[in-house]
Chains A and B, each alone.
Chain A
Amino acid sequence: MRSPLARAEGLGSAKGGVKHWWAERVSAVALVPLTVWFLGSVIAHAGGDYDAAVTWLRTPLASLAMIVLLLALFHHTALGLQVVIEDYVHSDAKFAALFAVRLGCLALASAGIVATLRITFSR
């Protein structure tokens, strides 16, 4: 007893593909220098202790780059995992999975930013 509209809704193009595609590319381009900077810094501080890590992270450039990295990284992660879920999950769990990924990425990015700010402004 479903109307033709109810059968068609949720199928086919959601008209949001271009926005998703662009956001994935923009975050990808941003992540190239940011992730290379992060890995290079971690390698440069390899073997260092807590003080060395915190001293590095609380410099203005490092904390700014870390926050931008967290924003771009979890935005990119949310977009990528969304596509994986849409491709493979066709059950009722799809909505819950999409919800969990989006909320989880938001929470993790926020937690990372809070931690970075606490390190930056701690004494």
Chain B
Amino acid sequence: MDSKPSISDETVARRRPRSPNIQIYRPQLTSVLSIANRVTGVVLSLGAVGLVIWLTAASMGPRAYGAVHSVGASWGGRIVLFGFTFAFFLHLCGGIRHLVWDTVHGFELRAIYISGWAVVAGSVALTVAAWTVGLLLAG
């Protein structure tokens, strides 16, 4: 009886570290953008729920639409929408980068970093441009 291991095989399996052990690596543009693409994807899933809420409110009439619209137009709502806009452009640009990679182009280290910084710069510029035009048109 005493020769039996005290902890089950399942417990040992759970304690074993899982790959990739990202905490032991220094963050690099490549890994950070890879993680960012996944995080923004999850964030945008919530944005998609917001789209359906907005559409449903619009289908219900002016009162429901006004209620949803006032939440979005509040300062808190605007900050969230700004975050969604940046997440959208980062995921869009990162996604286009992935589609280019799917054609077996741009895998050299230099090209990887050029496209990576282009994604960062493009996302920031497009987010600022979208909000500048939007706020100007809103008056």
Contact = CB atoms under 8 A, between A and B. Distances in A.
Contact of A73 (B48, B69, B95): B48
Residue of B59, B69, B88 contacting most chain A CB atoms (<10 Å): B59
A53 interface: yes
B88 A108 contact: no
Chain B interface SS verdict (over half): helix
Interface string B51-69: 1100110110110011001
Interface in B25-70: 38, 41-42, 44-45, 48-49, 51-52, 55-56, 58-59, 61-62, 65-66, 69
A96 B94 CA distance: 30
A12 B105 CA distance: 29
Contacts of B48: 73-74, 77, 108
A111 interface: yes
Chain A interface SS verdict (over half): helix
A50 to B, nearest CB: 4
B102 interface: yes
Given A54-B58, A74-B48, A112-B52, A43 B65 contact: no
Contacts of B51: 70, 73, 112
Given A32-B96, A53-B58, A44 B52 contact: no
Interface in B75-125: 85, 88, 92, 95-96, 98-99, 102
Interface of A: 25, 28-29, 31-32, 35-36, 39, 42-44, 46-47, 50-51, 53-54, 57, 66, 70, 73-74, 77, 80-81, 84, 108, 111-112, 114-116, 118-119, 122
